[in-house]
Amino acid sequence: MEQRTMTPARCPALLITAPASGQGKTTLTAALARLHARQGRRVQVFKCGPDYLDPHWHQLASGAPVHSLDLWMTGEADARARLHAAALSADLILIEGVMGLYDGSPSAADLARRFGIPVLAVIDAGGMAATLGAVAYGLQHFQPGLRWAGVLANRVASARHAQLLQAGVHADSHWLGAVQRIAADAGTALLPQRHLGLVAAQELADGMQRLDSAADALEATALGQRSWQDWQQWTVEFAPPAPAAEAGQPEALGPWLDGRVVAVARDAAFSFVYPANLECLRAMGAQLRFFSPLAGERLPACDALWLPGGYPELHAAQLAAQGAVQADIRAHWEAGRAIWAECGGMLALCEGIAGSDGQWTPLWGLMPGRAQMQKRLAGLGMQQLSTPWGLLRGHSFHYARLESGAQVLGRSRRPDADAGAESGEWLYRHGSLHASFFHAWFASHPRAVAALLGARQALDDHREDT
C-alpha cells in the first residue's frame, strides 16, 4: 500500500457489532454505507475477520473495495495502514464485526479498543422487550475501555414494540432507533443465505434495490436522521503506519514473482478471493490474468495457476462439461508448472464430488481423491499452515470432506494450539500441484506463496536461508 503521509488522519468511524451472528449486522452495515453513499459521501467499509461473501454487499453499497481487518490474520500493522489510508480519502469508515462483539481472540472488541473506534450494537429484538436494554448494557460494560456509540434494535414488529424496547435502554447506552423487518418480498429474506453464508451480491440482479430498501428503513431511525455534524462526535484519529522495518510484519515483500504470469480463476465457482491477496501478488511483481472456467474461457498463457475457493459444488456439472479448460489445466500441470488450489479450487481438481444427497458428479480428475459434501461444517476457524518455505496464516470454512491419496506435506493448526498439535487442514502435493482446504492470507508470508506458485527465486532464497 502506498504510504501517503506520516501524519495522523481523522475520520468518523463505527464498528457495527452484535451479541451473535445472525442479528442483521451485515444488512445494516451495508444499509448504512448505502445511505451515506447516496448522500454523496465517500464510504470505506471493512470486514472484521475472514469473510469472502459479506464484502460483496458492502462493495455494492459503498462503491469501493472492501478489505479484512484482523489483529491476528492480517496483523495490526496492516490494519493500521489500511485505516490510516481510508481516513485520508474517505468521509466515513464503517467496519462490520464478526460473530459477537467479544467472540474470538482477538475479538472485534479488541480491534475497536486498539484503534479507539466507537461501537454500534445491532440487536435482533424479536421476542424481546426491556431485556434489550440489559443486553446492550452488558455489551457496553462487559470489558472496560470500549468507546460506545449506541444500540440499534433490528427486526422490530411494530411502533409499540419499539417503544417497549426503547424504555428498557439505559440513557448512557444511547438508543439509536428501531428497524422493522425488511423483506425482498413476502416471505423472502432481503439478503438470502445458503451454506457458507450470504448469496453474493453480484448473483442477484436486484441487489442494489435490496440495499436501497434497507437504507430507506434505516433512514427513518434516529441513527439515519443523525446530522452529519453529530457524526463528527464519532471521529477517530488514526495514527500513521510504522515503517515496514518496525511494523512487526511476519514476512517482508520481495520481488519473487517478477516477470511471472499468474492465471487466476474468477467466476461464481471460484469467487473467494481477498483483494489484498491480489495486491500481494502484484507487489511481488506478478502479472495477473483472470479467466472464467465456468464460461469455458481457456487457461491464459501463464507460469502459474491459482484456483481460489468458491462454490464448485453448485456448478459441478457445468465445470465437468468444460473439457477444453480441463485439458488446458492438465497440460499446464504435465509441463511442471505450478498450481495452488484452495478449498473449492482443490475440489474442482478432484475425481468428483458427491452432494449431501449422495448424487455423484465427476470433475476434472487431476488430483486423486473424492469429495463428499455434508450438511454440517467440516472445518471452521483461524488456522496457520507450516509449509516448507514458512508459516502462512489464514482460515478454514467448508462443508466438504476429501479422501485423497496425494502426498501430504503438512497440516494446519489453530493459532492457540501447541506446535505439535496439528488438527486442521492437510497440505497436499501432487506433482507441481499444491492444494488444501486452508485459505491463505498471502501477506502473512509472501515468499511461501511465491514458492507455492513455483517462483524459483523464492525457492532459492529459502535454500540459502536454511
Task: Specify whether 417 is located in the same domain as 301.
Answer: yes
The mean pLDDT value for 100-129 works out to: 96
pTM for this entry: 0.90
Dihedral Cα 364, 366, 367, 369, nearest 10 deg: 50
End residue of a domain, out of 203, 238, 273: 238
Task: Specify whether 299 is located in the same domain as 425.
Answer: yes
> What pLDDT score does 51 carry?
87
End residue of a domain, out of 238, 269, 286: 238
243 in any annotated domain = no
Task: Specify whether 226 is located in the same domain as 347.
Answer: no
Residue 225 predicted with pLDDT over 50: yes
Active site residues: 343
294 in any annotated domain = yes
Q: Which residue, 231, 183, 235, is CA-closest to 35?
A: 231
Residue 119 or 421, more confident? 119
Residue 46 predicted with pLDDT over 60: yes
> What pLDDT score does 417 carry?
75
End residue of a domain, out of 210, 238, 266: 238
Task: Specify whether 220 is located in the same domain as 345.
Answer: no
417 in any annotated domain = yes
> What pLDDT score does 53 carry?
84
Task: Specify whether 438 is located in the same domain as 387.
Answer: yes
Give the pLDDT confidence of 186-223 residue by residue, as tens digits.
444 566 654 455 566 566 667 888 899 999 999 999 99
Cα–Cα distance measured from residue 245 to residue 258, given in angstroms and rounded to the nearest whole number: 22
248 in any annotated domain = no
Q: What is the mean pLDDT of the chain?
A: 90
Name the residue with cell 428501531: 178
Task: Specify whether 112 is located in the same domain as 230.
Answer: yes
pLDDT interval class at 375 (50, 70, 90) = confident
The mean pLDDT value for 391-407 works out to: 92
Residue 66 or 1, more confident? 66
Q: Domain with 64 in it: what CATH number?
A: 3.40.50.300
Q: Which residue, 21, 459, 44, 55, is CA-closest to 275?
A: 55
Residue span of the structural domain in which 330 resides: 254-465
DSSP reduced 3-state for 17: strand
**DSSP 8-state symbol, 315:** S
Task: Specify whether 202 is located in the same domain as 308.
Answer: no
Task: Specify whether 196 is located in the same domain as 345.
Answer: no
Residue type, 319: L
Residue 329 or 206, more confident? 329
> What pLDDT score does 246 carry?
41
Total tally of structural domains belonging to the chain: 2
Q: Domain with 369 in it: what CATH number?
A: 3.40.50.880
